[in-house]
Amino acid sequence: MKICKTCNETKPFDEFSNHPTTADKKYPDCKECQSGKMAELYKQGALFLSSLPVDGSRRDKAIFWGINDKHSVKKFIKKLVSQSNGCIEYNGCKTHNGYGALAIRNGSIVLSTVKAHRFAFALANGFDALPKGETGNRSDTLVINHICHNRACCNPDHLEVMTHAKNVAYRRPKNAA
């Protein structure tokens, strides 16, 4: 049994999410209270993003904020590693299919998680050069292509804007090295 820090109720351990660094390996708040806190932080992030002077998706607005926020840029740059093939790989979190994933924050509030190569492209070329919105896998939508076929690469010289259809055609075959 464990006492929730927020609601002060005693609950079974399975009602607390796992946490790798606490002594009992559990979050101090029960799942219900943690969920409520996360929902409130999400609302605060959405409210903040809606106040930004740009159009676009939540992720686009987070990128706009991030490339203009010294802390976000510094955090991003610290996770870049140069490779012998010219790629500059993002060495932070990755999506299930290998793209770098960067959490953009305003203080303790996560505004959105964005793909690292999109952040790098906007940082190098300016926010206005970034293709906006969700692709929805439409063939005429503009996306950022990795010329090097390395999804973790953030080298601006290895990134180019092209249509989704051309990007799909450009993909390396699955059995290629």
For the segment 33-88, what is each residue's pLDDT rounded down to a tens digit? 999 987 887 788 888 888 888 888 889 999 999 999 999 999 999 999 999 999 99
Q: Based on the structure, what is the number of domains in the chain?
A: 2
Same-domain status, 91 and 173: yes
Q: What is the DSSP letter of 52?
A: S
DSSP, collapsed to helix, strand or coil, labels residue 24 as coil
**Residues 146 and 153 sit within 8 Å (Cβ to Cβ):** yes
Radius of gyration of the chain, Cα coordinates, nearest whole angstrom: 19
Query: Are both 64 and 41 inside the same structural domain?
Result: no
Q: Are 54 and 66 in contact (CB under 8 A)?
A: no
Q: Which of 24-38, 89-103, 163-177 has the lowest mean pLDDT?
A: 163-177
Q: What is the three-class DSSP state of 40?
A: helix
Residues 7 and 76 placed together within one structural domain of the fold: no
Q: How much is the average pLDDT of 14-40?
A: 90
- Indicate the residue among 51, 67, 89 that finishes a domain: 51
CA distance 91 to 86: 15
Write out the two tokens for 101: 């994933």
* Distance, CA of 126 to CA of 53 (rounded, Å): 15
Any idea which residue has 């500059």 for tokens? Answer: 88
Q: How many residues does the chain have?
A: 177
Q: What is the CATH number of the domain that holds 129?
A: 3.90.75
112 lies in the same domain as 136 = yes
What is the arithmetic mean of pLDDT over 148-168?
93
Structure tokens at 52: 């930004």
Strand partners, 153: 89
